[in-house]
Structure 1
């Protein structure tokens, strides 16, 4: 699987794994692009701490313990930030128009 590495504002080095994309039909491509754009918008609305944790856990697939070490915070804090970030994203997506 292809990947790229970059650093967050705090200097946390993250490796972003880029999943292979399945070919989609025209309608599926539009819907997929719309969903990705909504999720990107939702991520920009999170505070920096929530976004860092969510990206490290869900996009980079780091374990909670590794995120805690990298950010120098307790694992309970990692879990709490992830939960609040997911709730905020869910709320944003529920308020957004559907294609």
Structure 2
């Protein structure tokens, strides 16, 4: 989950959010929402290939958060993933 504090009164849908309230983004719920993902509980890496991204909004998938407070380690994590995956790929 990602939490933020509302700096001003706001409204999301028909829910009022008073200034100073803590708002929590339920990332797991967003990543498993049937409204945004076909078969959300199925492991399907192909859903992230180019072309299928038109089906989602920019904040449907939040592996490192989003916006101005995105995780500072996201680029390092992606580099580590590439390094780890390149090792077995070289042996094929």
The normalised TM-score by structure 1 is: 0.30
Q: Provide the TM-score with structure 2 as the length reference.
A: 0.32
Larger Rg: 2
Name the structure with the higher strand share: 2
